[in-house]
């Protein structure tokens, strides 16, 4: 199960429960560690989730800009002929 979750880390559609399960599986052997360390790992997972969502939004925006640029280019070229 851990291997499946690790292979899906680059997919922005992971759910919160997947991150929590991943954190639990990674930290289960480290139960003796201090609570602050566990919170740090949880916050890092949330940061990773935010980055993946931002990357997805950015790529969607860039695709939209590219298609708009292609439209204007085709309109300008057709106007010249």
Residue 7 lies in a domain: no
Provide mean pLDDT across the span 63-73: 78
Q: In this structure, how many other beta carbons lie within 10 angstroms of the beta carbon of residue 22?
A: 20
Residue 6 lies in a domain: no
Residue 65 lies in a domain: yes
Q: Give 29-53 pLDDT, tens digit per residue.
A: 666 666 667 777 778 888 888 888 8
- Look at the chain and report how many structural domains it folds into: 1
Confidence at residue 12, expressed as pLDDT on a 0 to 100 scale: 56
Residue 31 lies in a domain: yes
Helices 35-80 and 16-27, interaxial angle, to 10°?
140
Confidence at residue 6, expressed as pLDDT on a 0 to 100 scale: 57
Q: Which structural domain, as residue segments, surrounds residue 64?
A: 15-80
């Amino acid at each position: 199960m851990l291997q499946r979750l690790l292979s899906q880390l680059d997919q922005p559609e992971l759910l919160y429960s997947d991150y929590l399960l991943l954190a639990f599986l990674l930290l289960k052997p480290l139960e003796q560690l201090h609570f602050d360390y566990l919170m740090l790992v949880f916050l890092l997972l949330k940061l990773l989730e935010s980055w993946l969502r931002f990357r997805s939004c950015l790529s969607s925006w860039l695709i939209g800009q590219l298609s708009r640029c292609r439209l204007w280019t085709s309109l300008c070229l057709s106007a010249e002929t």
